[in-house]
Amino acid sequence: MNAESDEEQIEYLDEDFWVYEEPDISSIKEMKNLSMAVTQQSQNVAKLAIRYAGLKELPKFSGNIDEWANFYAQYVKTTSDGQFTSSENVTRLEKCLSGEARELVASLLTVSGEAESIIEILKERFGHPRQQLQRLMQRAKQAEAPNDNKPISVVKFAAEVRNVAIILQALNEGRHIQDSTILNEFERKLTPIMKNMWAEVIHANPDYTMIDLMKFVNMRAKLALAITPLDGEGPSTSRQKSDEEKRPKFRGKGVFTVTSAGRGKCAVCQDNHYTSECPEFKKMSPEQRFAKTSELNLCRSCLGRNHRMYRCFKRRECGVEGCRLSHHNLLHYKAEEKTETKKEAAAGKN
């Protein structure tokens, strides 16, 4: 290969050869600064969104110990998320406090920048662990014990256990969640069936806490809701009363009686007795009774309504003079009686 061709090849390689260039440090710094600016802007937008989403307003607090845990948790969370200043927090507290809580810090509500002092005073008075524990113990004692025959009572009991457990978990960063006095009070109220099931749980987990009990009764509550309507324990009162009226009652020494509510309403005279006992129906001739059952669409076997003889559960043989037909014995008549009745009817027309 000659020198001229070698030069051409070198030129060709130089054209295709990739040359590495040092990155521009200033460009990287600009990108980082831009990213930080975008992040800061996003945080500011989130802060504004939190403020305008209604989180600026704190829940009302009048000094009720039961409401302290939620009030304090909301104050801490919204202060952090919304980045409220001390002056802004004083304004928020001034709007939400009332009753004893407001009276306790009334003078500080007029001073800007005393939000932390206000919260510390309220916390000492209403959020002291000892006070909270005493109140939770009181709630445990006042809680209505569940009843296996009343599913709604299980749901209500589970709700109270859950409320107490959540407050205990939040109190002093969860240091009181294993409080045995409150836990034992709730355990004591479990039904015998629930106690047996709970024993299996704590046998597998000896270091159980109120949270474990909460999960256990929550599951029992879910099962209870699956078998009972939310608006009651079962059938309505009026339906239960109706069922009790229809149910046969025993009185005295083995005497079986039926309440008046169980009597039928006569299809012929509308009185409170069965059609088979109707004096008016019995005065009719067998043929007239037969015609009456057709007119009123009655079952010819039991004289009842809303069904035909072939579907009658009370169907049985007539039995009069050995008759084996399935009609009611009040509808039985001989062939000659039928003929005689027709002759009398024809004579009456003449």
The confidence score (pLDDT) of residue 51 equals 58
What's the confidence (pLDDT) of residue 112?
80
pLDDT at 104: 92
Whether residue 337 contacts residue 287, with contact meaning beta carbons closer than 8 Å, is answered with yes
Comparing C-alpha atoms, which of 342, 344, 320, 343 is closest to residue 331?
A: 320
For 250, phi then psi, to 5°, come to: -105, 130
Query: How many Å from the N-terminal Cα to the C-terminal Cα in the chain?
Result: 150
pTM greater than 0.75 (yes/no): no
C-alpha to C-alpha distance for 51 and 29, rounded to whole angstroms: 33
Residue with tokens 């020198």: 3
Six-digit token string for 73: 């948790």
Could you read off the pLDDT tens digit of each residue along the chain, which spans 350 residues? 555 555 555 554 455 555 555 556 666 666 666 667 666 666 666 666 655 555 578 889 999 888 888 899 889 988 888 888 899 899 999 999 999 999 999 999 988 888 999 999 999 998 888 888 888 899 999 999 999 888 899 999 999 999 999 888 877 666 777 667 899 999 999 999 999 999 999 898 888 889 999 999 999 999 888 876 544 444 444 444 455 455 554 444 444 344 443 445 788 888 888 888 888 888 888 888 888 888 888 887 788 877 766 667 666 777 787 787 777 788 777 654 444 444 444 544 44
Which class for 29: exposed (0-12), middle (13-18), buried (19 or more C-beta within 10 A)? exposed
What integer pLDDT is reported at residue 37 of this predicted model? 64
Contacting residues for 116 by C-beta, under 8 A, at least 6 apart:
86
| Phi, psi of 255, deg, nearest 5 | -85, 125
Burial class (CB in 10 A: 0-12, 13-18, 19+), 83: middle
Check residue 324 and give its pLDDT: 74
Tokens 């009655």 belong to residue: 298
Q: What share of the chain is helix, strand, coil (3-state, %, to 5)?
A: 65, 5, 35
Q: Quick one: which H or E segment has residue 26?
A: helix 25-50
CA distance 70 to 148: 32
pLDDT for 237 equals 45
Q: Where are the domains of the chain?
A: 41-127, 131-225, 275-341
CB 224 within 8 Å of CB 154:
yes
- Contact indicator for 171, 237 with CB cutoff of 8 Å: no
Give the Cβ contact number of residue 303 at 10 Å: 27
Closest CA to 268 of 255, 279, 257: 279
Alpha-carbon span 87 to 94, nearest angstrom: 11
Q: Which residue has the tokens 């099931």?
A: 197
Q: How confident is the model at residue 175, as a pLDDT?
A: 73
Residue in the block written with tokens 């084996």: 324
Distance CA 303, CA 314 (A): 10
Give phi and psi for 251, each to the nearest 5: -130, 145
Spell 100-123 as b/e; 16+ CB within 10 A means b.
ebbebbeebbeeeebbeebbeebe
CB 176 within 8 A of CB 208: no
